[in-house]
Structure 1
Amino acid sequence: MSSPSLGFLALEGYELMSFDKDKQRKDIERFIQKMPSLSTTVGKVMEICSRTDASPNELNKVISLDPVLTGQVLKLINSAYYSLVTKITSLTRAITMLGMNTVKNMALSTAIIRTVAGTKKSRALPTTRFWAHTIGAGVSAKLLAGIKEVPVMEREELFVAGLLHDLGKIPFGDEYIEVLTIAKKEQAPLIEVERDIMGIDHQEVGLMIAEKWKLNEVISTCIGKHHNVDDLSGPLAKQVAFVALGNIYTNILDIGFAGNPFPSEVEMEHLLKVLEISAEDFGHIGEGVQAEIHKAEIFLQI
């Protein structure tokens, strides 16, 4: 669901920075080109897991050649996030217990966070609060999917999609402070202010990154369409809707900060209808969100 252009800001006398929209786009494209590619190991992991005939043994062979990734997988499986009774010391056992898709998502999310951590940091979005928001969105999406009894493996993918949904904000520089200031002053949808002032929005930028890193359809679409769920249909629309609603829920709870503290009640009600989730069930996930966020912070610590 989209909002009208915010061109009225200039008419109301709001003093705006002068943005060269063409230069802004070129600067962002250059920034993304210079971003490191994901590691060869992660690329192979994604390739293997995309094949229907792939085996856990193949995945084990690839990951075991990367001691850092092996350590990360074992640290994650033994963390509170998975709450296993016994400690797992074997990579093969970890893959068997969690499933190939979950291990792929673990490898992907940790690799992306590590890669992004080395890029330019804008003062507009403090790193700790930004990732706190995205973890909250991922956890909320996962818990909302649980209400609808979505299979566990798909819920894990929705967590990763939520964790990465705002990747497109990373390449914005300090000029993004002006965009955030306007959005806050006018209590306007951030994405509309981005388009009006900068000529590009974080969904479009996020898709550029997703294409560079060859992320799968679900994660890429959640990054590129979480504010435009109505553009989609079928199962993919519902998957993106979980992430979009998780994003809104995180903003309602004021968890972290990604620049959009004024969630639309109309959009929230629409997404609840799309997913056939009652307002009561929506509110109840708050009981588990904070606990899940605490457990999921392990993704930022490895």
Structure 2
Amino acid sequence: MKVEIFRRTVKDRRRGASWELLQHMAEGIKTSGDEPVIVNENLTGDWRKDEMEPTAPIGCMFGYGGDKQMHHTKGRRRDLVERAKKKGIYIITFDGGLLSSFGNTVDHPQHHWRVALYSPMNNGNFLSDNSPPDRWEMMKGLWNIKNDPWKKSNPEDPILFVLQPKDNWSMNELDPVDWFNRVYKTLRPLTARKFLVRPHPNHVAAMEERKNEFPKDVELIIGEKFFSGDNKKFYRFNFQEAITNCHAVVTHNSTASTDSCVRGIPTFCTSDLAICWPVANRDLTKIESPELPDRTQWLNDLGYKMWTTEEIKNGTVFRRFKQKLGL
């Protein structure tokens, strides 16, 4: 069976983890006895009409594109998914990100990637429903994950707001300051807790420039603005320290919300694309009395949403999807 790999769902620079991942997937497909076909491997420059037209029963891409991001790489991803769904073609997509504050960073030799159909967020199909606990237990040991019971807070514990850049896949062009100020208007009359605002590591300097747009009683956390070397990785690790004494985490759809739910910090999300949506709080008016759902099956399923580079290269991932899809 031919399997199309859409190289132009990553940038044309032909390097980096996402580009390499598609090459690894090609290896896995070949190892499984199928034929990987790199679509428009050498094409560069502007988006070409019909370049994302799928023709094989199954295709592969990297990432996601929102309906307000129909430009450049994100737009090509969106176009591919829409075309594939119209033709009944499956598209496997990848992303990283989950559990990064516990150590699942892209440079870790056992880095686990998200793998799903059509989207690496909650609107994708990871084929992971009702999974056993084995992979989750393995990940807990691998990264020494603290999976505590839901935290019961003290009256003085603050609320941490986690921001994302406007051009982030999951923000889909929603301005983070506009988002925060709308949420603030709902929450401030309901609680006297301190509000801490944590920018995305790629967006610290931009948020400092706009600090006057935040309400005066909010603490905008401005640390290092331009990261080099391992500093960005350490900023992600610091998230676990940042949430330790928090009453709750509030975000639109940051991958950090998965990490806070795993840790046992009540987490409010305003987007149903969040991976933690099944166990997240959705009603902001319950900020002082968050729901504390059972996370057992969600955590087990999380273990089957993510796979290592080696499992992608050796065909484990592709064979699993083929078998689950009956191909």
Shared fold, TM over 0.5:
no
- Scaled by the length of structure 1, the TM-score of the pair is 0.28
- Scaled by the length of structure 2, the TM-score of the pair is 0.26
Tell which structure's C-alpha radius of gyration is larger. 2
Between structures 1 and 2, the one with greater helix share: 1
Select the structure with the greater relative contact order (CA < 8 A; seq sep ≥ 6): 1
Between structures 1 and 2, the one with greater strand share: 2
